[in-house]
Amino acid sequence: MKKDGVSIEIIESKKRYVLPPEDIVFLPTKSVSAEDLCKYFTTEMAKGLKSNGADNIKKLHVRVDEGVGQGAGCEYGL
């Protein structure tokens, strides 16, 4: 991966992708699987809710679907 301020170049599996930086978000996850994205989103939402004093919410459930019948769900007790 190369960043030059104008574009981001990614080379993976003998393929080259050049994308504008405003279209890219780097997430602190191991992968972009439904399971990892679900954990990330659930944790970030829980942090936001707690920091804004949402003490009336006891449990958070998030589901990320990749396609019909394929996805992951996460629960987080607050």
40's CB contacts (< 8 A; 6+ apart) are 27, 28, 29
13 close to 26: Cβ distance less than 8 angstroms: no
Domain that holds residue 8: 2-77
- Answer yes or no: are the C-beta atoms of 76 and 46 closer than 8 Å: yes
Return the pLDDT at 55.
87
Which pLDDT does position 67 carry in this prediction?
85
Q: What is the pLDDT of residue 69?
A: 84
Per-10-residue mean pLDDT, the chain, length 78: 81 93 91 93 93 90 90 90
Question: How many separate domains does the chain show?
Answer: 1
